[in-house]
Structure 1
Amino acid sequence: MTALETVELYYDRFNNKDWKGMLALLDPEIRHEPNQGEVRIGIEKFTAFLGDMDTAYEETLTEMVFFTEPSETRVAAEFVVNGIYKKGEEGFPEAHGQTYVLPAAAFLEVKEGKITRVTTYYNLPHWIDLVSKK
């Protein structure tokens, strides 16, 4: 499977809430670089992150566009996050089922068929604004 196919499958599993299938595509030493906060290293920390996200948010990604480069080890993904804010987190607005539509992007690295890095970007102040107005 190519890096692009691996990343496409990863996001397909995300949209189908197949967390176990997503995790199977990750290297045990996955490096997760979130938009904000500390870098997470390792499948255990990524698994905990997924659990927290599943509790607080209901998200589906649409308008997916993928880009790869000549060595086919890095893939960029641009998409729209269609979400529901289910449970508030410390430092963020209170959650009461607000919906949001937010452009985002991710950069992934794949080695030997496993995703070794996921870096995500989105406009956090814009997201806060979206969920604060509802």
Structure 2
Amino acid sequence: MTSLEIVQQYYSAFNNKDWDGMLALLHPDVRHEPNQGDPRVGIEKFTEFLGHMDESYEETLTDMVFFTETSGRRVAVEFVVNGVYKKGEEGLPEANGQRYVLPAAAFLEVTEGKISRVTTYYNLPLWIKLVS
């Protein structure tokens, strides 16, 4: 399977809420670089993050466009996040089921047939405005 196919499968699993399917595509030492906060390293930390996200947000990604570079190791994807804010977090607005539509992007790297890096970017001030 190519890096592009691995990343496409990863996002298909995300949209299907197939967390085990997502985790199966990650390298044990995956580096997750979120839009805000410190990077997380390792599948255990990513699994914790995924559980937290599932508890707080209901999201589906649409309008996905994938890009690859010549070595085939790195893949970028642009998408629209269609979400529901289910549970509030410290320092963020209170959650009461607000819906949001937010453009975002991610950059992924594949090592030995597994996703070894996920870096995500979105406009946090816009998201706060959308749910306030």
TM-score by length of 1: 0.98
Give 2:107's aligned residue.
107
Task: Report the counterpart of residue 83 of structure 1 in structure 2.
Answer: 83
Q: Does 1:122 align with 2:122?
A: yes
**Counterpart of 1:101 in 2: which secondary structure?**
strand
AA in 1 matched with 2:115: I
Q: Which runs of 4+ in 1 moved over 3 A?
A: none
Q: Which residue of 2 aligns with 1:14?
A: 14
Find out whether 1:97 has 2:97 as its counterpart.
yes
Match of 2:55 in 1: 55
Q: Name the Cα RMSD after superposition.
A: 0.3
Q: Name stretches of at least 5 consecutive residues in structure 1 with no aligned partner.
A: none
- In 2, distance between residues paired with 1:16 and 1:107? 20
SS at match of 2:92: coil
Distance of 2:35 and 2:12 partners within structure 1: 21
Amino acid corresponding to residue 12 of structure 1 in structure 2: S
Unaligned runs of 5+ in 2: none
TM-score normalised by length of structure 2: 1.00
- Whole-angstrom distance in 2 between the partners of 1:112 and 1:42: 15
Q: Deviations over 1:67-89 (max 9, x none)?
A: 00010000000000000000000
Q: CA deviation at 1:112?
A: 1.3
- Count residues with an aligned counterpart: 132
Say which SS state the counterpart of residue 50 (structure 1) adopts.
helix
Instruction: Give the match's secondary structure for 1:71.
Output: coil
Give the drift of 1:111.
Answer: 1.1
Deviation string 1:80-134 (CA, Å, 9 cap, x unpaired) is 00000000000000000000000000000001110000000000000000000xx
What letter matches 1:33 in structure 2?
E
- Secondary structure at 2:48 match in 1: helix
- Counterpart code for 1:65: V
| Whole-Å separation in 1 of the counterparts to 2:29 and 2:111 | 12
